[in-house]
Structure 1
Amino acid sequence: MKFKTLIFLIVVIITTSCSFFKKADDRIPIARVNEAYLYDDDIKDLITDATTKEDSVLLVQNSINRWATQQLFVDGAMLNLSEEKQATFNKLIEQYKNDLYTKAYIEALVKKNIDTTLANDEAETYYENNKEAFKLNEELIKFRYVHVDENIINFKAIKEKFQRFNLKDKKELDSISIQFKSFSLNDSIWIKVSQVMDKISVVNPENKDELLKKSNFLQLKDSLGVYLMQINNVLLRNETAPLEYVKPTIKQIVINKRKLELIRELEKDITKDAIKNKQFEIYN
C-alpha cells in the first residue's frame, strides 16, 4: 500500500513539475478551427494608426475568414489525401524550407565576402572583349536644354550664353536657373532619345530627326514657353554603345560572375571543413 502511494506521489510531482516549467501561452485566441487557433498577434500588423475603425473591423473579419477557409481546406486535405500524397507534400515543404535557409545563408556570406569594386582597366578589358554585346537598340544623344518663358526680359542674353556655353556662361546660367521652367546643362552624359521625348513634350516623332544631328541647335515653342536645345553628340541604333554608358551594366555582369565563383568556392569549402571536423561522413 505504501509502495503504491509512493508511486502515485512521484507521478503527481513529475506532472506538476512539467506543468510548472512549461512555458505558458499567454497569446489571446480570436478564432478556432478544430485544433488550430488564430491569435491576436497573427493579425496585429493588419491595422495601422491611419486605419479607420470601420476599415479595421472589415480587415480583421476578412483575415479571419481567409484563415478559417484555408485551415478548413488543410484539415480536409489531411483527412482525405492519401498518406503517400501527404508524405510527398511534406518532402516538398522540407525541401522548400531548406532552400530558403540555404539561400539566405549563402546571400549573407556572399554579401560579407564579395568584392563589389570594379577597376577601370577591368571594365575596359571586358568591354573590348565583348563589344558585339553592346550594340545599341535605340539612339543616344548628349545634349543640354533650357525651357524659359518666351517673354522673359533677358531672353536674348540667355540664348547667347546657352549657345556659346563657355565656363563663364555655364556658371552664369546656373546662377539664374531659378528663372527657368526646367533645364539640364550637363551635356557630357549620354541620354536615351526616348527619355528626352518623354520629358520634353514639344519633341515628337515629326521633329525627332533634328535631335539626331550632331552639333545641331534647336529652338522649339510650346504653350508654356521656348525650348533651347543643343545637341553635342549622337549615337544611332546598332552602333557600339560607349564604355561610359555601359559601365554600370559591365559592373553588374562582373559582380554576378564573382558571386557565382564565390558560391562555388563556399560550397566546396563548407564540405571540406565538415569532413575535416568530422561533421560530414559517407558510410560504405
Structure 2
Amino acid sequence: MKHTILFLLVSLLAVSCGKQIGQKDGVVIVKVGDNTLTKERLEAEMPPSLSAEDSLIYAEKIIRSWIGDILMYDLASQNMSNKQEVENLLEEYRKSLVVYQYQAHLINEKLSKEINEEEMLRYFEANEDRFKLDQVLVTGLFLKIPIDAPQVSSVREWYKSSAPAALEKIEKYSIQNAVVYEYFYDNWVDYNEIADNLPFYDNTKKVSRNMHIELKDSDFHYFVNIKDCLQIGDNAPYDYAKASIKEIIINQRKKDFLKNVEDDLYQTALGNGQIIFKDK
C-alpha cells in the first residue's frame, strides 16, 4: 500500500504538469467507491515549506487517513441499527447550523459594535460588585540592571520615590544601563507578571502599598516599587474591567437584537396566517 501511494504521488507530479489546477474535476489521486480525493484538495491540506521527501511522507498520511475515514463511514452506515435517529440528529444539526450562520450574518450586518465610554462607565458603576479580582494588581515600577552597573547606590534611592525628579533620573539612567525598565504608576498590572521576573522570590508573599523589593543574583540587580495594590477579591478597577464590560454589553445587544428579530418574525407570521393553532 505504501509503495502504491508513493508511486501515485511521484507519477502525479509528472502527469499533472500539463493539466490546469482548478479545472472542474481536478486531478484525481485516489478513488474509494463514489468518493474521490483530488490533488487540489491534498495540496490544500499540506503544510508549506516541506522538503520533497517530507512532502511525500505527509501526503501519504493524509491519503491513508482519508481512505480510512471513507471505509469506516461505509462500514458504520451498513451496520447502523438506529439510522432514523441519526438522520433526525443530522437534520436538527443542519437547522441549527443554518440558523446560527444567518444570525451571525444579521449581527455583523445590522448590529453596531461601537460602544462609547459613557455607556461602559455607566454599566461598571451599576455592576461594580460583579467585577472581582482573581489576581493581585499593582502600580509602580520595575527595574533590572546588570550586577556591575554604575551608581547602584543612587538607583536604590531613586526607585523608591515616585517624585518627578527621581523618575526622570531613573529614565535617563535606564537608557544606558537597564536591561528592563517598566513604568506602571498610571496603570494596573498583574503582580505575577512582575514577580515572575524576580529570582528567589516567594510569589505567595503578601503584597502591600508602598512596598519596596530589592533582590540580586550573580548577574543582575532587581528593584520593584509597589506604589498601590489591589488584593484578590477586591473590586476590579474600571480600566482593568473595561474589556470584560465591552464584551458583556455586546453579548447583551446580540441577545436583545435576536429576541426582537424572533418576535417580529412571530408577529408577522401570526398576522399573515402562516401560524395556525388547531382547536382541540
What TM bracket, shorter-length normalisation?
Answer: 0.7 to 0.9
Report Cα offsets for 1:191-244 as digits up to 9, x if no partner.
2333322233343247x33xx231122322122221122111122233322223
Give the unaligned 5+ runs of structure 1: 1-23
Tell me, what secondary structure is at the counterpart of 1:201?
A: coil
- For the 8 Å contact 1:46–1:59, the answer to whether it is kept is no
Matches within 5 A, 1:237-252: 237-252=232-247
- Map 1:15-94 → 2, pairs under 5 A: 25-82=24-81, 85-94=82-91
Structure 1 residues 232 and 45, CA gap change in structure 2 (3 angstroms): same
CA distance in 1, matches of 2:76, 2:213: 70
Instruction: Tell me how far apart the structure 2 counterparts of residues 53 and 282 of structure 1 sit (CA, whole Å).
Output: 62
C-alpha distance in 1 between matches for 2:39 and 2:268: 45
1:121-176 Cα deviation digits (max 9, x unpaired) = 43343333333323334332212111112322233444444333433543453344
Equivalent residues in 2 for 1:85-104 (5 A)?
A: 85-104=82-101
Q: 1:175 to 1:40 in 2, by over 3 A?
A: same
**Which residue identity lines up with residue 90 of structure 1 in the other structure?**
E
TM-score computed with the length of structure 1 as normaliser = 0.75
1:66-87 CA deviation, whole Å, 9 max, x = no partner? Answer: 22222122223333335xx333
**Structure 2 unaligned spans of 5+:** 1-22
Partner of 1:185: 183
Give SS of 2:107's match.
helix
Q: Is the 8 A contact 1:134 1:241 kept in 2?
A: yes
Structure 1 residues 115-124 or 63-72, which shifts more?
Answer: 115-124
Mapped partners of 2:226, 2:209: distance in 1: 6
Report the structure, 1 or 2, having the larger helix content. 1
- Matched AA of 2:149: I
* CA RMSD across the alignment: 2.9
Between the aligned residues of both structures, percent identity stands at: 22
For 1:99 and 1:270, the matched residues in 2 are separated by 17
Letter in 2 for 1:154: Q
Partner of 2:231: 236
Bigger Rg over Cα: 1
Cross-structure match for 1:196? 194
Q: Deviations over 1:25-62 (max 9, x none)?
A: 53222112222222222211233441122222222222
- TM-score calculated relative to the size of structure 2: 0.76
CA distance in 2 between counterparts of 1:39 and 1:272 reads 49
How many residue pairs get matched?
254
Pair 100,151 (structure 1): closer, same or farther in 2 beyond 3 Å: same
